[in-house]
């Protein structure tokens, strides 16, 4: 298992290298009436605020939970209007029905769902929604020379294949989030987008990937240099919208 605190050791790169979530995702949240000013949102595994910032900009009151001290410090500096709690998502202790939305943005795969899901269920108020989304770096439906080089780097690894569900697969994540019967999926949506990156941006970004070694990052950087010093990356972002089930105090009415 790769180290979930890898990001803490690379907080500076994380803050500058991780791309924002695509505008189409935020547009969909507006259509769902999630981004109504004055609503209360809980951002789990907030990192340096890639989701916290847009939630605040939409007028929400945001409580951001981040276990890494360096990441949390950068989060506070960048978004002083957020309430930042330094702890794991599984360890938060907050009043029942405190939030209109709970968000896990490219973070849910690090969390123990047996502990987390009952807690999220309890924290959501009437009509509350649980939103899980992530960026997938590399669109499997789009082939590019750079992605061919990335695939070759990954293929050279000696590590055995992962045995747990692929966290980049929306279907596997949806199944895991609904397995205990506390939530149902309202919808899943995938957004496709692209971004141009130079060698330094690729090095910074790939350094933040928890399963990439320094040597592999060097190889990815060299690939950019050899392919003309800039590459167009095609990415996906998916969104899962979940509602609490049953008639408990935290469930939707």
pLDDT tens per residue across span 86-117: 999 999 999 999 999 999 999 999 899 999 99
Tokens 């847009």: give the residue.
54
Kindly state whether residue 156 falls inside one of the protein's structural domains: no
| Domain count of the fold of the chain | 1
Kindly state whether residue 181 falls inside one of the protein's structural domains: yes
What pLDDT sits at residue 5?
58
pTM attached to this predicted model? 0.89
Dist. CA 158–CA 149, nearest whole Å: 17
Kindly state whether residue 43 falls inside one of the protein's structural domains: yes
8 Å CB contact between 184 and 252: no
Kindly state whether residue 249 falls inside one of the protein's structural domains: no
pLDDT tens per residue across span 57-67: 999 999 999 99
Kindly state whether residue 207 falls inside one of the protein's structural domains: no
CB atoms within 10 A of CB 202: 23
**Cα–Cα distances in Å, from 25 out to 56, 108, 142, 192, 197?**
15, 17, 20, 10, 21
Please indicate whether residue 114 or residue 162 has the higher confidence score (pLDDT): 114
* Residue span of the structural domain in which 58 resides: 6-146+165-196+236-244
Reading the block at residue 71, the tokens are: 């990441």
Reading the block at residue 157, the tokens are: 């690894």
Kindly state whether residue 216 falls inside one of the protein's structural domains: no
Per-chain mean pLDDT for the chain: 90
8 Å CB contact between 208 and 4: no
CATH number, position 14: 3.40.50.150
Query: Among 38, 77, 79, 45, which Cα is nearest to 61's?
Result: 38
- The size of the chain, in residues, is 253
Kindly state whether residue 230 falls inside one of the protein's structural domains: no
pLDDT tens per residue across span 11-27: 666 677 788 999 999 99
Kindly state whether residue 157 falls inside one of the protein's structural domains: no
SS3 228: coil
């Amino acid at each position: 298992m790769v180290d979930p605190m890898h990001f803490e050791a690379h907080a500076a790169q994380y803050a500058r290298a991780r791309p924002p979530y695509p505008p189409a995702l935020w547009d969909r949240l507006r259509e769902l009436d999630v981004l109504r000013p004055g609503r209360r949102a809980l951002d789990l595994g907030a990192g340096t605020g890639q989701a916290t910032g847009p939630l605040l900009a939409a007028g929400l009151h945001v409580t951001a939970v981040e276990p890494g001290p360096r990441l949390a410090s950068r989060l506070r500096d960048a978004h002083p209007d957020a309430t930042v709690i330094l702890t794991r998502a599984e360890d938060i202790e907050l009043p029942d029905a405190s939030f209109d939305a709970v968000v896990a943005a490219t973070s849910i795969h690090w969390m123990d769902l047996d502990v987390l899901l009952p807690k999220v269920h309890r924290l959501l108020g009437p009509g509350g929604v649980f939103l899980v989304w992530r960026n997938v770096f590399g669109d499997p439906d789009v082939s590019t020379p750079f992605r061919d080089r990335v695939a070759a780097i990954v293929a050279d690894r000696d590590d055995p294949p992962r045995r747990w569900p692929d966290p980049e697969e929306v279907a596997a994540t949806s199944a895991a989030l609904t397995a205990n019967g506390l939530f149902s999926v309202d919808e899943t949506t995938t957004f496709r987008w692209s971004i141009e990156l130079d060698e330094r941006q690729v090095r910074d970004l790939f350094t933040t990937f928890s399963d990439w070694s320094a040597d592999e990052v060097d190889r990815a950087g060299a690939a950019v240099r050899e392919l003309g010093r800039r590459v167009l990356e095609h990415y996906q972002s998916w969104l899962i919208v979940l509602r609490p089930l049953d008639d408990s105090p935290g469930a939707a009415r």
